[in-house]
Amino acid sequence: MALSGKRIKKDLARFLGEKNVFDDKPTTLVYAKDVMPYELEERNIPYAVARPADALQVSQVLKYANQHQIPVHTHGSGTSLVGLARPKARGIVLDTAAMQSLEVYPERGYFEVGAGKHLAKLRAALAPYKALLPIFPGSEPVATIGGGISVNTSAHAVDSALGKPGDYVLGLEVVLPTGEILETGTESLRRPAGVELTRLLVGGEGLLGVITKVRMRLVPAPDTANIVAYYDKSEEILATVMDMYARGLVPPMFFEYLDEAACKIGYEAVGLAPPTGAVAMMTIHSDTPEGCQAKAERFLAFLQERNPLSAEIMKDDQKWAKVWSSRAEAGNYVYRRGTTFGSEITPRVDKLLDAFADTREFILNLDNKASAQFISFGHIGAPTIHGYAFWPTKDIPSETKKALTLELRNKSEAINAKYGGCGGEWGLTAQRADFLKLRYGPDYYQALVNLKKAFDPHNILNRGNLEGWL
């Protein structure tokens, strides 16, 4: 890379205009920073931040980057919890914020949205059409649709009830790393049945192209009914989920839990009396209120067979809103009180209890810092266990934070590999190259490397993520 930052800015400004390229250090530092708790290195800080307005401008940026072999890191809102958002090789950050278009076509049964639209704004814009946006991350206020589709995460939803967002994507506008602009998929609600690029690019984590526009089904929003159930111990909730799947019951669209420690913190945060044990929350969905009620009653009867401390269908919407928000607040308040390092454990469903025990065991016995407290919550119906290590201090050196991040990653990966899972919420590359090799073997990993090379011969896009660079 022989070009200077100033030269790159000048060149990019020819395509994008002066106002849409930044090379000043304050701006480049802000775009380099992500959620990862350790300090930035020089290689993380881009030469320039580019804000293309459409696929044509993205194409111009990528052709230029290819010509000069400059790495390009795509930036939605930088909310990844596993390092996807931090540039690993100094180059250009391609910010999708200017791609904000939205066209809703009820008569065609779909909408088309620019990659930079924030999920909360998209959900609000779809509300008049009574449409469900099937992506539910905690970062909804700022996370982008482009990022959600690139990771293909339903986030907090139960996949076996709602599917993944990619199941609703009809087609994409995408720019290949070498600059070609493609349209994939269909304008019909009948999705292609055979070989089709949409499936590769959804969940591609920006390794194979830059998604600039998404065409997605307008999914009728269901009616919902909510259940809250209290238990002595978290393990009883896990056993209930295992039993739910073993009996072949229809899973709720949300099935969350807070363990004994997390629910105390979450409930106190929202002004509710803390329970004595653990709590589970479920959202049952159907296309009519009567259908919801019937399904909720059947599900409640199932829960009661297993003798929880109590379980009820929530009639008071305001109280339910408080109970539901205690999930998010538990995570926030734990972090307010100190420092946390998280894990994403997604075992084979009949191994939930074993995986939970292993997770607690490793978090209580970390090598890089003693005396962690174990706190867990998560989307247990999915199933996802988020096991957290917590220390009641902010004063942990950056190097220790990096070592702890890596230790938690490696040990949770070992549990996922042991029990046949691979994650399902946070993404599969960035820090996770070793997991891919551990879980699937070197031939699988090499197939991914070969695929990447076929799309991106100069390894321009998101360099370092498939390699697993921290």
Partner 1 sequence: MKLNNNPKEALLADLGKCRACRFCVDVCPTYQASQGVEALSSFGRLQIIRHLLTGQLELDDSLSYALYSCLLCRRCENMCKSKGQAIEICEVIQRGRAYLAPAYAKEVAQNA
**Which of 139, 212, 240, 405 lies at the binding interface for partner 1 (CB under 8 A)?**
139
The footprint of partner 1 on residues 9-38 (CB under 8 A) is 22, 24-27, 29-31, 33-35
Tokens (6 digits) for 214: 């998404």
Q: What is the torsional sign of CA 174, 179, 181, 184?
A: negative
Under DSSP, the state recorded for 194 is S
Q: Is 229 helix (H, G, I), strand (E, B) or coil?
A: strand
How long a stretch of residues is the chain?
470
| Residue 156 is a binding residue for partner 1 (CB under 8 A) | no
- DSSP three-state, residue 73: strand
Number of residues located near partner 1, criterion CB under 8 A: 31
Residue closer to partner 1 by CB (options 133, 225) is 133
Site for partner 1 in 362-401 (CB under 8 A): 394
Q: Which of 335, 374, 440, 469 binds partner 1 (CB under 8 A)?
A: 335
One of 298, 336, 392, 447 touching partner 1 (CB under 8 A): 336
Residue 142 CB, shortest distance to partner 1, in Å, is 5
Provide the pairing of β-strand 181-183 with 48-50: unpaired
Segment interacting with partner 1 (CB under 8 A) among 61-69, 91-99, 177-185, 223-231 = 91-99
Neighbour tally for 118: CB within 10 Å: 20
Q: What is the CA radius of gyration of the chain?
A: 23
For the record, the structure tokens of 387 come out as 């096991």
How many angstroms separate the CA atoms of 429 and 415, rounded?
17
Mark the segment that binds partner 1 (CB under 8 A) among 59-67, 118-126, 224-232, 433-441. 118-126
Site string (70-89) toward partner 1, x via CB under 8 A: -------xxx----------
Q: Which of 50, 94, 97, 237 binds partner 1 (CB under 8 A)?
A: 97
CB 246 within 8 Å of CB 386: no
Which of 355/389 has CB closer to partner 1? 389
Task: Using the minimum distance from each CB to partner 1, give the nearer residue, 129 or 333.
Answer: 333
SS (H, E, C) 116-177: CCEHHHHHHHHHHHCEECCCECCCCCCCEHHHHHHHCCCECCCHHHHCCHHHHEEEEEEECC
Closest approach, Cβ 470 to partner 1, in A, equals 16
CB atoms within 10 A of CB 406: 16
Q: How far is Cα 259 from Cα 236, in angstroms, rounded to an integer?
A: 10
167 CB-contact burial (10 Å; exposed 0-12 / middle 13-18 / buried 19+): middle
Using the minimum distance from each CB to partner 1, give the nearer residue, 393 or 450.
393
Per CB under 8 A, contacts with partner 1 among 51-70 are 51
Name which of 139 and 412 has its Cβ closer to partner 1. 139
Minimum distance of partner 1 from residue 355's CB (angstroms): 27
Contact between 142 and partner 1 per CB under 8 A: yes
Pairwise CA distance, residues 396 & 404, whole Å: 10
- Binding stretches for partner 1 (CB under 8 A): 22, 24-27, 29-31, 33-35, 51, 77-79, 95, 97-98, 100, 116, 118, 120-121, 139, 141-142, 328, 332, 335-336, 394
